[in-house]
Amino acid sequence: MACSATFATGCWRAIPLNQGSPAVLISAGEASGDHHAARMMEAVRRLAGDERPVRFFGLGGDAMAAAGLEPVAHSDEVAVVGIVEVLRELPRIRQVFRRLLEAAESRRPELAVLVDFPDFNLRLARRLHRRGVPVLYYVSPQVWAWRRRRVRTIARLVKRMLVLFRFEVDVYRGRQLEVEHVGHPLVDEVPELPSVWEREEHLPERPTLALLPGSRNSEVRRILPPMLRAAAVMGGGTGRIRRGGDSGNDAAPVRLILASTVDRDLVHRLVASSPLAGKDLEIVRSERFAAVAGSHLALCASGTATLEVGLLGTPLVVVYRVAPVTGLIGRWLVDLPFVSLVNLVLGRRVVPELLQGEAGEAGIAAAARELLSSRGRIDRMRGALAELRPALGESGASERAARSLLHELQVARECREGGRP
């Protein structure tokens, strides 16, 4: 089997072949990437078996560590969003970058798997490409939204791109790049649970709200405070804070759904300084799908979580806030009709989006009240959200990604053994 022309620079001839279990460098710098990468790693382990397991090392979070990652750095060290925010953390991010390169030099991976996180991972791809390391990219950067010129860079540095959305295949059409649509892992991961709306015919007098403020601490700092104030304006909270799993006859009117990557102390400080301090606020870290399905409405930060909420059929309002400078630059660079993945996948405005100044407590509360004032509005949104699951592709995305990874490992090994471009 001949090597791809993309890697005609040496096809690993400079690096001796690892005998035994193949080593793969993997890099995922965000909560969603950590989650998707972990599911792929688990599928690789099932497919490869115990005789010749694949050894993963690199950058990841708790989910990847549980799936067998040998960590070089934790994704929490680099998980920031926004231009201003990244500049603030740049020294630490550079340190993580150097540690990964040093690990690549000493461990000599046969393949690199880079998961989303493009500002970091594309720089890493460039350095790995120079060393002759073939790169499999899982979860395409959102080049269809901004910085489309990156497509050329990706085609030059990446051997194969695995995309989650069908429309992303067309973005790379005509490039010397292997592109495979594997589908979205959430189709398998988000169960089809009964919604609270299926049990209730009328609008609730005391609706239960789910707050999903993002997976990065920098997001939570900006998004959670106005969410909490909006929930208070709407009358949420009457008694005490409960942790997920607490017993109680009545559902808490406000459920705070937290990603594992979010700092607990930060959340407690933000809650303590909010109008809901000391009120009936349920903090949920596990069983989040059941908590969302059992809520009448979700206030959700833009990101992968919007797809999770949509797949559960829970009506939602999407909110997002970044530093003012980042917001101004984003409006100038981003050329999209929508920011939420729900609206982008469905190709029309299904859920309201509140950005920057619109995402204050008054705007959030007004949008939530408008939705909750009409059962017809709720039912129409839920009907549109039901289109998400078929739109995201067939089940088995993680296994398809794993098979592609194992294929690329085999190609890399045959190239190296053959010693030919």
Tens digit of pLDDT for each residue in 240-281?
A: 444 444 434 345 589 999 998 899 999 999 999 999 998 879
Contact 311, 388 (CB under 8 A): yes
Q: Return all residues near 314 (Cβ < 8 A) that are at least 6 apart.
A: 195, 210, 292, 293, 295, 296, 297, 298, 385
Q: Per residue of the chain (421 residues), what is the pLDDT tens digit?
A: 333 333 333 343 333 334 568 999 999 998 889 999 999 999 999 999 877 799 999 999 999 999 999 999 999 888 765 555 566 677 889 999 999 999 999 999 999 999 999 989 999 999 999 999 999 999 999 887 666 788 999 999 999 999 999 989 999 998 889 999 999 999 999 999 999 999 998 899 889 999 999 988 989 999 999 999 999 988 755 434 444 444 343 455 899 999 988 999 999 999 999 999 988 799 999 899 999 999 999 999 999 999 999 999 999 999 988 655 454 445 544 556 788 999 999 999 999 999 877 889 999 999 999 999 999 999 999 999 999 999 999 999 999 999 999 999 999 888 877 664 4
Task: Sort strands 55-60 and 23-28 into parallel, antiparallel or unpaired.
Answer: parallel
Hey, what domains does the chain have and what are their CATH numbers?
Answer: 5-185+396-418 (3.40.50.2000), 196-391 (3.40.50.2000)
Q: What does residue 257 show for φ and ψ, rounded to 5 degrees?
A: -95, 115
SS3 112: strand
Give the chain's end-to-end CA distance (angstroms, integer): 10
Q: Tell me the H-state helices in 140-293.
A: 150-157, 167-171, 186-189, 196-199, 217-233, 264-272, 288-293
Q: What integer pLDDT is reported at residue 216 of this predicted model? A: 86
Q: Tell me the H-state helices in 274-418.
A: 288-293, 304-311, 324-333, 341-346, 361-372, 375-385, 388-391, 397-418
Q: Tell me the CA distances in angstroms from 356 to 2, 205, 326, one per residue in order.
A: 51, 30, 10
Query: What are 257's strand-pairing partners?
Result: 284
Give me the sign of the Cα torsion angle 343, 326, 212, 36: positive
- Angle, helix 361-372 to helix 375-385, in steps of 10 degrees: 100
If residue 80 lies in a helix (H) or strand (E), which one and from where to where? none
Q: What integer pLDDT is reported at residue 31 of this predicted model? A: 86
DSSP string, 277-301: TTSSEEEESSSHHHHHHT-SEEEEE
Q: What integer pLDDT is reported at residue 91 of this predicted model? A: 84
**How buried is residue 99: exposed, middle or buried, by Cβ count under 10 Å (0-12/13-18/19+)?**
middle
Which of 8, 23, 37 minimizes the C-alpha distance to 105?
23
Which of 67, 54, 68, 133 minimizes the C-alpha distance to 100?
133
Contact 222, 322 (CB under 8 A): yes
How many C-beta atoms lie closer than 10 Å to residue 149's C-beta?
Answer: 9
Amino acid at 128: L
Q: What does residue 229 show for φ and ψ, rounded to 5 degrees?
A: -65, -40
Q: Count Cα neighbours of 178 within 13 Å in the Cβ-side half-sphere.
A: 17
Q: What integer pLDDT is reported at residue 11 of this predicted model? A: 45
Q: Is the pTM of this model over 0.95?
A: no
Q: What integer pLDDT is reported at residue 335 of this predicted model? A: 57
Rg (CA), the chain: 22
Q: What integer pLDDT is reported at residue 206 of this predicted model? A: 87
Q: What integer pLDDT is reported at residue 419 of this predicted model? A: 60
Q: What integer pLDDT is reported at residue 344 of this predicted model? A: 92
